Amino acid sequence: MSDSYYELIGDDTHGEKFRATDLSRGTWSATIQHGAPVSALLVRALERCAARDDTRLSRVVVDLLGPVPADGDLWVRSRIERGGRQIELVTAEMLAPGPDGQPRPVARASGWRLQQLDTGAIAHASTPLPRPVSEARERNMKAQGWDRNYVHSLEWLWLTEPLAPGGGESWIRPIADLVAGEAMTPLERLFAVADCANGIGSTLDISKWTFLNTDLAVHVFRVPAGDWIGIRAETSYGPDGIGTTIGSLFDETGAVGAIQQSVLVRPRPPKPPKV
């Protein structure tokens, strides 16, 4: 894969320095990044922080502290918050220049890293697998008039109809690298698409409503295998402009984890009349 979401520039006092490509740009606005590349880059930092072969991430919570700019320099840094032989808490944050030009946090992640042990004899997943990739279909989202952005970095196939009651199901795989020249780890690939759960689970007309998630919390009980990630999600909306997306994550053999997101729901302002 020649395309990527980020280019690694180097290291300085603020952490690893990156520059985002056009493929990180969001669909709500071209000036801010989609949450999926941001969360995947934070997971990269969590996995690499004092890495141990005998542990892996079991839960990651990403908080988007505000719009993450799509242009300019970015920095990512991580640290061990709570060390331990069997249980560790690792944190990472992304920084971007603020109004004063100084780097400030724009996104944070925390991850529980647990020691691995062979429990193959009791492995079980109760959530049923979606229909296979071969039965999903392309909705041609890239042809909806967007400039080059996050959607152009995906093969996104749907098993359900848009806005159908009962939530949605999709199979997605990124066709870009996370960082130029690096192969994605299985969890980086998972987080490169997990943030799409909000859109998959929505029943709102995107021409009339915006629904921005402020976070994502993902529990992973099995590391996914292969390129395709399945997402089954449904969003519930309260009467006060706040919603919650709840979903399950899959590889082609079964469920691998679960996701929840908080959603800010707002009506789109009417377009000004043409003159």
Helix (H) or strand (E) holding 187: helix 186-194
Mean residue pLDDT of the chain comes to 93
Would you say the C-alpha torsion 22, 24, 26, 30 has a positive or negative sign? negative
* Predicted confidence (pLDDT) per residue in 167-195, tens digit: 899 999 999 999 999 999 999 999 999 99
pLDDT at 270: 77
Six token digits for residue 226? 């292969």
210 close to 266: Cβ distance less than 8 angstroms: yes
Residue with tokens 């943030």: 195
pLDDT at 2: 61
pLDDT at 275: 62
Answer with the residue of higher pLDDT: 236 or 142: 236
pLDDT at 165 over 50: yes
DSSP per-residue letters across 212-231: EE-EEEEEESS---SS-EEE
pLDDT class of 1 with cuts at 50, 70, 90: very low
pLDDT at 269: 83
pTM of the model: 0.94
**What's the average model confidence in pLDDT over 65-90?**
96
Report the SS3 class of residue 21: coil
CA gap 123, 187 in Å, rounded = 19
91 close to 108: Cβ distance less than 8 angstroms: yes
pLDDT at 271: 74
87 close to 56: Cβ distance less than 8 angstroms: no
CB burial of 231-254 (b: ≥16 within 10 Å; e: otherwise) equals bbbbbebeeeeebbbbbbbbbbeb
Residues 6+ apart with CB under 8 A from 218: 59, 60, 61, 190, 191, 194, 249, 257, 258, 259
* Predicted confidence (pLDDT) per residue in 5-40, tens digit: 999 999 999 999 999 999 999 988 899 999 999 999
Strand duo 177-179 + 4-12: pairing: parallel
**What's the average model confidence in pLDDT over 43-65?**
97
pLDDT at 144: 60
Torsion angle defined by CA atoms of residues 77, 82, 85 and 88, in that order, rounded to the nearest 10 degrees:
-60
**What's the average model confidence in pLDDT over 238-256?**
97
Half-sphere exposure of 258 (CA within 13 A, CB side): 8
**What's the average model confidence in pLDDT over 254-264?**
97
pLDDT at 74 over 90: yes
Question: In this prediction, what percent of the chain has a pLDDT beyond 90?
Answer: 85
CA angle 42, 174, 245 (to 5 degrees): 65
* Predicted confidence (pLDDT) per residue in 200-219, tens digit: 999 998 889 999 999 999 99
* Predicted confidence (pLDDT) per residue in 111-129, tens digit: 999 999 999 999 999 999 9
